[in-house]
Structure 1
Amino acid sequence: MGTSPEPFDTPPTQRPPQRATESLRGSRRSNRRLPRRAAVGRRSFASTLKALDELASSGARVAVHVADLDRGTVVLSGDDFLTHPVAGLGIVPLLIEVAASFEAGTLDPLEIIERSSVERVGVGGVWQHLKAPALPLSDLAVLAAATGDALAANALLQRVGLDAVRGRIETLGLKRSALLDQLRDTRGPDDAPHYALGTAGELAGVFGALVNSQIVSAGVSAQVAEWLSLNHDLSLVASATGLDPFSHENDEHGLLFVNKTGRDSGIRVEAGVLAGPRAGVSYALIVCFDDLSIAHRLRAHEAFRILGVDLMEYVF
């Protein structure tokens, strides 16, 4: 993102409401509504704007998109149309293709994949530490979604094919997103420079469409959202939710949360959906920064946490 004085655009929210979202959100949202006075200042995202402006001024590339799911309006955006590397977020279109293949019957969820058939990679995940030498495709999808397991993700990609995932991305209308390669420990001159690319606007849109049952079909949307709801990484935006990283599918306070993070050297990304008793939002934040020290990294992480706080105030 550039360092212009006003890099973020917060459009007016007083527009005619669109239809309320359904399915996953409908099952989690309570009928309780907060007093209208509690909404005063909820839509400013002033703290987030300040944190992201400071990051941009320090040389980081920042992109953000937040949309109100009930109203269908964008409440915060900045450089959300620019393509950036998104690291592990590339697993999301892969999971969509896998779920669509399960539903179509072209892929058997119980098909066993041998770990030895997949090129060794140790950048993240748990399968490399397990004794089980083989797992079914459905379990690999859970590992990829819940832990960002690189071996599991690569096994899924090897099975469905990179061309199929790219075709799915095109079918979904994602014009500025791409899955370029498999996950690797290191990238050489003959490898794609990144695992995946995307924009904040398109990432937020995908998550909004997932919880509204608009990705491929209601069944595929529900399956992918279920997998992603198991994600253990609640250290960025999600750190403000107070949810249990290992068990947050049925929050007792009626909070619906589905997310996926992406991490690489100098790259932090998160996209998801957060819905509470008052509102629901889809969001995405991309920060590409010089990872020169722990202080640089923590400053980037803090911006994600601040966005999380603002989002919690918005939905509650």
Structure 2
Amino acid sequence: MVDPTTDEHLVCHDADTEQASASLGKLLLLVEVAAQFEVGTLAESELLAHGDDDWVDDSGLWWHLTAAALPAVDCATLVGAFSDNLATNVLLRRVGGPEVVRNRAKTVGIKDISLHRYVGLHAKPRPAVESPFGLSSGTAAGYAALLARLHRRDVVSAAVSERVLGWLALNADLSMVGGAFDLDPLCHDEPDLGVQLWNKTGTISDVRGDVGVVVGEARTVAYAVLTHWDDASHPAGRAVALDGMQRIGRALRGLVRTEPIDA
């Protein structure tokens, strides 16, 4: 946990270890999309259609819909709100691929986070060398630093940072750290119960991650919680991880509220 104003580390545990981060790496794609919107290389209204090489199911809504094409800004909204895999692949292909996204991150000083490839086992092209971390990887320190910078509006530009935060405010997954604030999962883009939350989550079979910024009456905190377990040797790992993340959320709630709660 980091104070985004001072970059002071409030709580830190194993924060510099690179880990698989599932869909959390889509944050870098949202930064790239917002940056291209700003300079006009990608128009918000441009219709983007999915093709055979983009197809992937699982997370998201688009693969359930009949629309074969959506405006680019709607694709980004789906990624922010529902971590939409199909919209991710379509946007990733349109902006130039994972390498373009990684280069942008490097250029603007985003460290210790990487988006390695397109989503899904069959999405093409595949990288020549597959990362052992899957779709994305990063450190808790790297993700917390990125969220702190977004809060300060200094990722690419103030407008780009604001746009990315707008997409994160729509995230419907409050099953992890974000669940501690008792917000409406489908509508919390305005302050409620004394807090406002912007976050992104990541989920695969043996990984859970939740990174974000929460503004409360007492203070503002940027946080990143990454968990990983071995499904084979720890079949109860998911339940243990989620319980731990929810306890961290309650501790975070105590930090940002004027009336701390037990955690």
**TM-score higher than 0.5 here?**
yes
| Cα distance in 1 between the residues matched to 2:169 and 2:53 | 26
The amino acid across from 1:214 in the alignment is D
Which residue of the partner structure matches residue 187 of structure 2?
247
Q: Which has the higher contact order (CA 8 A, sep 6+)?
A: 1
Assess if the C-alpha contact under 8 Å between 2:217 and 2:256 holds in 1. Answer: yes
Which residue of the partner structure matches residue 271 of structure 1?
211
**1:208-227 deviation line (CA, Å, top 9, x unaligned):** 11111111101000000001
**1:28-47 deviation line (CA, Å, top 9, x unaligned):** xxxxxxxxxxxxxxxxxxxx
Report SS of the residue matched to 1:100. helix
User: Alignment partner for residue 87 of structure 1, among 22, 25, 28?
Assistant: 22
The amino acid across from 2:249 in the alignment is G
Assess if the C-alpha contact under 8 Å between 1:239 and 1:308 holds in 2. Answer: yes
For the pair 1:204 / 2:144, whether they are aligned, the reply is: yes
**1:158-186 deviation line (CA, Å, top 9, x unaligned):** 00122210111112323422111011047
Question: What are the within-5 Å matches in structure 2 for residues 220-259 of structure 1?
Answer: 220-259=160-199
Question: What are the within-5 Å matches in structure 2 for residues 105-124 of structure 1?
Answer: 105-116=40-51, 118-124=53-59
| Cα distance in 2 between the residues matched to 1:225 and 1:190 | 32
Which residue of the partner structure matches residue 248 of structure 2?
307
Assess if the C-alpha contact under 8 Å between 1:146 and 1:228 holds in 2. Answer: yes
**1:197-216 deviation line (CA, Å, top 9, x unaligned):** 11100101111111111111
Assess if the C-alpha contact under 8 Å between 1:70 and 1:279 holds in 2. Answer: no
The amino acid across from 1:148 in the alignment is S
Which residue of the partner structure matches residue 155 of structure 2?
215
Assess if the C-alpha contact under 8 Å between 1:90 and 1:179 holds in 2. Answer: yes
Distance 1:146 1:89, change over 3 A: same
Which residue of the partner structure matches residue 5 of structure 1?
none
User: Alignment partner for residue 106 of structure 2, among 170, 176, 179?
Assistant: 170
Which residue of the partner structure matches residue 79 of structure 2?
144
Distance 1:108 1:118, change over 3 A: farther
State the 1:117 CA deviation: 5.5
The amino acid across from 1:130 in the alignment is L
State the 1:71 CA deviation: 4.3
The amino acid across from 1:262 in the alignment is G
The amino acid across from 1:312 in the alignment is R
User: Alignment partner for residue 118 of structure 2, among 163, 166, 182?
Assistant: 182
State the 1:115 CA deviation: 2.2
Which residue of the partner structure matches residue 131 of structure 1?
66
Distance 1:70 1:131, change over 3 A: same
Report SS of the residue matched to 1:232. coil
**Structure 2 unmatched runs, 5+:** 258-263
| Cα distance in 2 between the residues matched to 1:191 and 1:209 | 30
**1:76-117 deviation line (CA, Å, top 9, x unaligned):** 111211111111011101000000000011111111111236
**1:13-63 deviation line (CA, Å, top 9, x unaligned):** xxxxxxxxxxxxxxxxxxxxxxxxxxxxxxxxxxxxxxxxxxxxxxxxxxx
Assess if the C-alpha contact under 8 Å between 1:120 and 1:151 holds in 2. Answer: yes
State the 1:249 CA deviation: 0.8
Aligned residue pair count? 251
The amino acid across from 1:173 in the alignment is G
Assess if the C-alpha contact under 8 Å between 1:274 and 1:281 holds in 2. Answer: yes
| Cα distance in 1 between the residues matched to 2:245 and 2:119 | 24
Matched-pair identity in %: 37
State the 1:73 CA deviation: 1.2
Assess if the C-alpha contact under 8 Å between 1:118 and 1:151 holds in 2. Answer: no
Assess if the C-alpha contact under 8 Å between 1:278 and 1:315 holds in 2. Answer: yes
The amino acid across from 1:286 in the alignment is L
